[in-house]
Amino acid sequence: MSVDQATVRRIAHLARIAVSDEEVPHLQQELNAILAFVEELSAVDVTGVEPMTSVVPMKMKWRKDEVTDHAGADTVVANAPASEDHFFTVPKVVE
């Protein structure tokens, strides 16, 4: 799989990252190198290997499920690109 310059611009747009025309070829090379490495990983035989959450076996830490004070709706949606009546607003994706 290979990433072209149009795909790099689309990824940057979706991630809301400003990318200049001079940066696109470098990012294209970087993304292609990452994808090549992922393709190499898919060749590794992992049959019989159990999924793990850590290299070193450890117990998961648990906490009590307690209700705590929150920052308030205005604070929560303050960094949202768009909000309305204390809710996040998102573009309609289903007709």
pLDDT given at position 3: 93
Range of the domain at 12: 5-42
What total number of domains does the chain contain? 1
- Domain assignment present for residue 34? The answer is yes
**95 belongs to a structural domain:** no
The model carries a pTM of 0.52
Distances (CA, A) of 37 to 4, 15, 44, 55: 17, 22, 12, 21
Residue 13 lies in a domain: yes
- What pLDDT sits at residue 36? 93
Residue 66 has pLDDT above 90, yes or no: no
Euclidean distance between CA atoms 89 and 83, whole angstroms: 5
